[in-house]
Chains A and B, each alone.
Chain A
Amino acid sequence: MKDKKFISYLFEVAWILPSVAIPVSMLVAILITAFAVGVRVPTTAGRVSVSAVAAGADSTFSQTGLREIAPGRYEAIITAQTFMFTPNKIEVPAGSKVTFILTSKDVIHGFKINGTPINVMVIPGQVSRVTATFDKPGEYLFVCHEYCGAGHHVMYGTVIVN
């Protein structure tokens, strides 16, 4: 009887140790990719007045589009509204590092560029700021991935890398 209890105790330990070890090692892997490799997630990037943005009176978002801030470094200012991104076509040379700065004029939208780690919510009153490097030439589709109303499925754009 004692032996039987001991054996089931061993089984429990044999299960519990990996149950702790697996999530812990996954966590370590995540921390390495985040803080050593540098794959970070969106974070606080300030607020804007939604009425100012909608009226075209905000200093940043009144001038949407792409601008080169240093050789090979770009900033893309984009506004989202039902049911379009402005601009919806961005063209950069291969090897460019692009910071996308977005906000919404109305409801919540989403911004995900396929083939890159860029995936961020675009929320009225908030600035979303995300960066990616485009090494491979091609067309990168970006879509609004948060339900934003009856025309949500026609809201998209492309990054063209030459």
Chain B
Amino acid sequence: MASIAARARPVAISTDLSVERKLAGINIFIAFAALAVGGLMGVLQILRYNGLDLYTPSKPLLPGGYYQGLTVHGVLNVLVFTTFYIIGFLTYIFAKSLNRPLASSRLAWATLWVMLTGLVLAAIPLLTNNATVMFTFYPPLKADALFYIGLTLVVAGTWLLLANMIITRNAWLADNPGQRTPLPAFMAIVTMLMWTISTIGVASEMIFLVIPWSLGLVGGTDPVLARTLFWFTGHPIVYFWLLPAYISWYTLVPEQAGGKLFSDPMARVSFILFLILSLPIGMHHQVTDPGISEMWKLVHAIFTFGVFFPSLLTFFNVVASLEYAGRRNGGEGWLAWIFNLPWGKPEISAQIVAMMLFAFGGISGLVNASYNVNLVVHNTAWISGHFHLTVGTAVALSFMGITYWLVPHLTGRQLWSRGLAVAQPWLWFVGMGLFSHFMHELGLRGMPRRTDIGGAPYVQDEWRFFLFFAMIGGLIMFVSAIFYYLNMIMTLTRGKKLAEAPDFSFAKALSGPEDGPKILDRLLVWVAVAAVILIINYVPTILDILSTATFDVPGRRVW
């Protein structure tokens, strides 16, 4: 009897999110510490491109010079900064949106510890010039085994968060029968599902190919198989970076702008499409690879065009939400409502600036994915220009924008300088606008990426003009970063203690989840669809490579 009574009247569920708050704070702190080091490397690079060599004086700290610095830049910015930030942010957003802590706080702490252990292990060879292999670590370049083991642990740590989310959501569904999963939690779990499925690629590369080979257990490897497995994860990873920014744009920005989300069902549809279409498109990074058939390259290009569609849905939905906010704030006209958005809020200005530059990044991304058009741009500075707009702005600037409200919320301290915070995104806009524009130009003129241009004997005269302006852009970004870090350090140490930490709420929707079909929430169905499409798009190529692979290419340390 007692047990039936207990079941009928469940004990009150804890709403204590102190663990999630701590985890968000720690992860985001690690993320920005990594970005500080990684970003500084970028400054050295753009100066070196213009003949100012700071690598010689940095020799004691950076024995590997340009290429070690570039590896640090890539690993810290796109692997460490992004992953730690995302895990911290999603942990908290997920729990906050369900208004309950994660099912297992032990598992939540284990997530952090596994990732942090991995980071430390990978950092040792990275910082001692024993892993100067770029963040793509294409074999036969062979780093110290610790580098690969460490990165694998970082990825494995992220799986624990998905496990925790699934258990927590199931418990929530049991307590709230028939209810729709709140949109932020839904988006967070879809992001983690997509990411975890995608990591099958890089995890297999690490566990079956690279780690045994770097430990000397096997003598050789197969570079094309390794590349294919890498890009199996390597394109979906860009959606792993982007979707958390989208979560903020969909579920927080409309509220912060003083409006509502235009359509909840449309947002769910776009995330389901991201789950399905982000995965089977990695080979558009391998358009110029020998050993992979033209036909599958074309199929992956077509699917990449497909994933453009949910991004356009997102564009419509987010802009419609902003328009609603602008009109609620008294805005009128076709476009004049834009001026009625609360531009004085740094979280708003940062994220809208991020969206604006992202539009251009999306367009250059379509060029990259366009099958034979890729021949013009592959491995040129164009690509660097492209992803500095996407991960370097849409993602990084949104993540900075989020901290302008999240840090006061988590710490109970007021932002040290609102003025600096409002100016910072605009400086980023100008700096990144210049930098990425001229990198695109340089790429079209044949300048290779990931190359120590300052030491190259073949620099073309016409490159020098563009390199100069790319440097100006880079330096403006550097000033923007100083504004950001100064503000954050001062907020954490000197920020005015508030009587009560400012709370936040998620945006309400003009058209709520009840307007969309329930099947949108049936995640298993969509995972199954994604799996089938993924298998069709990858198994033939992988079997084809395996059928001729000889695994006899030895590793090299060439730096």
User: Does A pair with B?
Assistant: yes
A residues contacting B by CB (< 8 A) are 8, 11-12, 15-16, 19-20, 23-24, 26-27, 30, 33-34, 39-45, 47, 49-51, 82, 106-108, 110, 112, 114-115, 117-129, 141, 143-150, 152-154, 156
Q: In whole angstroms, how far apart are the Cα atoms of A149 and B544 in the complex?
A: 29
A47 surroundings in chain B (CB, below 8 A): 291, 548, 550
Contact A27 B302 (CB under 8 A): yes
Contact A41 B451 (CB under 8 A): no
B114 at the interface (CB under 8 A from A): no
B366 surroundings in chain A (CB, below 8 A): 23, 26
Contact B457 A154 (CB under 8 A): yes
A24 surroundings in chain B (CB, below 8 A): 305
Contact A141 B548 (CB under 8 A): no
Q: Which applies to chain A's interface (DSSP): helix, strand, loop or mixed?
A: mixed
B544 surroundings in chain A (CB, below 8 A): 44
Output the least CB separation between B478 and chain A (Å): 24
CB contact list, B423-468 vs A, under 8 A: 445-446, 448-453, 455-458, 460
Partner of A19, one of B291, B301, B312, B376: B312
Asked whether A145 and B294 contact (CB < 8 A) given A27-B302, A152-B67, the answer is no
Contact B556 A41 (CB under 8 A): no
Partner of B375, one of A44, A118, A124: A118
B15 at the interface (CB under 8 A from A): no
| Residue interface bits B538-559, CB-to-A below 8 A is 1, else 0 | 0000001000101011101011
Partner of A144, one of B223, B448, B453: B448
B372 at the interface (CB under 8 A from A): yes
Contact B138 A108 (CB under 8 A): yes
Output the least CB separation between B373 and chain A (Å): 7
A8 surroundings in chain B (CB, below 8 A): 262
Contact B222 A125 (CB under 8 A): yes
B287 surroundings in chain A (CB, below 8 A): 41-42
Asked whether A42 and B223 contact (CB < 8 A) given A50-B552, A112-B380, A153-B452, the answer is no
10 more CB-based (< 8 A) A-B contacts, given A108-B141, A126-B290: A19-B313, A34-B372, A41-B297, A42-B290, A47-B548, A107-B138, A112-B378, A125-B552, A143-B446, A150-B67
Contact B553 A124 (CB under 8 A): yes
A149 surroundings in chain B (CB, below 8 A): 67, 141, 556, 558-559
B308 at the interface (CB under 8 A from A): yes
| Chain B: CB-nearest residue to A38 | B372
B204 at the interface (CB under 8 A from A): no
Asked whether A26 and B457 contact (CB < 8 A) given A47-B548, A106-B556, A124-B223, the answer is no
B340 surroundings in chain A (CB, below 8 A): none
Asked whether A20 and B294 contact (CB < 8 A) given A41-B287, A107-B556, the answer is no
Contact A128 B290 (CB under 8 A): yes
Asked whether A143 and B458 contact (CB < 8 A) given A49-B550, A110-B448, the answer is yes
